[in-house]
């Protein structure tokens, strides 16, 4: 168990959340590939982020929750290579309680990033598991991301080196695509 999981009681202060960590694209595809591919054809209805009210910013250490017509996929990145994918376990009506600090108030907020909100209600056309392939000494080599391709654009949740990152738009050329069918 990682130090962060120990400090947070493995649930990141989110009741019912039990991350299951993967450190390779192959592991994600074996465990979740079929289910991720089954999302194709659904509408992207909402994306939930944990919001830190003290800084008025997205708290990127907690999972990002994507809703596709009622099927919820929860993605979280930690350390340099770990990604967790869980399904329908997070109740976004219950605020997270970060157990290591009383200095900030966290709540779930939907569609707070404009590019992500712009894709709302669009049909999901494809899901790609991505693997970063950089230069020989690139610390990000091997990190795994998920990319959702909608009718009007692409949204990728990636490892921002120990937290989640979101990018809307075309992929960087260092991502190796593993399309799910």
pLDDT per residue as tens digits for the range 20-50: 999 999 999 999 999 999 999 999 999 999 9
pLDDT tier for residue 101 given thresholds of 50, 70 and 90? low
- CB 44 within 8 Å of CB 58: no
Domain boundaries, position 61: 3-179
Split into its structural domains, the chain has a count of: 1
pLDDT tier for residue 55 given thresholds of 50, 70 and 90? confident
Mean pLDDT of 90-119: 86
- Tell if the pTM clears 0.85, that is, is over it: yes
pLDDT of 66 reads: 98
pLDDT tier for residue 10 given thresholds of 50, 70 and 90? low
Q: CA–CA separation, 130 vs 25, rounded Å?
A: 7
pLDDT of 15 reads: 87
């Amino acid at each position: 168990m990682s130090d962060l999981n120990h400090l947070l009681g493995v649930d990141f202060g989110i009741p019912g959340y039990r991350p299951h960590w993967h450190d390779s694209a192959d592991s994600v595809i074996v465990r979740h590939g079929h289910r991720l591919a089954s999302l194709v054809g659904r509408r992207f209805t909402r994306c939930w982020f944990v919001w830190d009210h003290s800084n008025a910013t997205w708290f990127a250490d907690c999972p990002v929750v994507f809703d596709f017509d009622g099927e919820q996929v929860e993605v979280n990145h930690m350390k340099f290579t770990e990604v967790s994918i869980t399904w329908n376990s997070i109740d976004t009506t219950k605020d997270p309680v970060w157990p290591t600090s009383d200095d900030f108030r966290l709540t779930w907020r939907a569609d707070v990033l404009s590019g992500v909100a712009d894709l709302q209600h669009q049909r999901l056309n494809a899901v790609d598991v991505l693997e970063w392939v950089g230069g020989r000494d690139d610390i990000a080599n091997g990190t795994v991301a998920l990319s959702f391709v909608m009718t009007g654009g692409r949204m990728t949740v990636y490892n921002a080196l120990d937290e989640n990152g979101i990018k809307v738009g075309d992929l960087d050329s260092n991502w190796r695509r593993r399309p799910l069918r």
